[in-house]
Amino acid sequence: MSSQKATIYIKNLRLRTFIGFNEEERTKKQDVIVNIQLCYDAAAATESDSVDDACNYKVLTKKIITLVEEQAFDLLEKMAGDIIVLIAAISKVQEASVEIDKPHALRFADSVSVKMEYRREA
């Protein structure tokens, strides 16, 4: 069986969490927008048509929602790093990126975002 790289995109996952280190940010949940891209070898999934051979993005998304909405973060970097840890726990995933936007973080900007990348060592 040959390798068949698949890329899954989870786009604009809108969540609410405590993000920031200012007093108001510690007491009022804010919106964040999470975008995830992950790559895995989908050869087995294309043959079997079974979710057991695929990267189950529904299960992953539920874990991300729980993580983000039930914890508080000072930094976007911490949130992105914690999401990367969840993704890295999926042995099928070869590489991934997570970008988190914090709308209205700066007065004259639509948002501020942080992007982190992960690559499994061979």
Q: For residue 33, what are the contacts with CB-CB under 8 A and spacing of at least 6?
A: 12, 13, 14, 15, 100, 101, 103, 111
Q: Quick one: pLDDT band at residue 25, thresholds 50, 70, 90? A: confident
Answering whether pTM is above 0.85, one says yes
Structural domain containing residue 91? 5-119
Q: In whole angstroms, give the CA distance from residue 3 to residue 26.
A: 46
Residue where the block lists tokens 């992960």? 118
What's the number of domains the chain is made of?
A: 1
pLDDT value, residue 101? 97
User: What CATH number should be reported for the domain holding residue 65?
Assistant: 3.30.1130.10
Q: Is residue 43 predicted with pLDDT exceeding 90?
A: yes
